[in-house]
Amino acid sequence: MKKEGTIVINRDWCKGCGICVAFCPGEALVLDDKEKACWAFPDRCKRCGICEMRCPDIAIELVEK
């Protein structure tokens, strides 16, 4: 797994379903107080891209460096 890349969340498209949070193997994501996905713990992120693959709304993306 790469340790580079940034998670970018489109807050307008995120509907707060929590799927990305549930599937994230690093527990790097949370839902914030607005019920939007938030990459709260970048240090735990494995840059696996599972969140991007699982999001039904194309609202979260792993942007490679």
Which 3 state secondary structure label does DSSP give 54? Answer: helix
User: What's the token pair of residue 58?
Assistant: 């194309």
User: What's the token pair of residue 31?
Assistant: 């839902």
Which 3 state secondary structure label does DSSP give 51? Answer: helix
Residue 36 C-beta: closest distance to ligand SF4, Å: 7
Residue 33 C-beta: closest distance to ligand SF4, Å: 14
Query: Which residue type is seen at 18?
Result: G
Query: What is the binding site for ligand SF4 (CB under 6 A)?
Result: 7, 9, 14-20, 24-26, 28-29, 37, 39, 45-51, 55, 57, 59-60, 62
Q: Which is nearer to ligand SF4, 34 or 55 (CB)?
A: 55
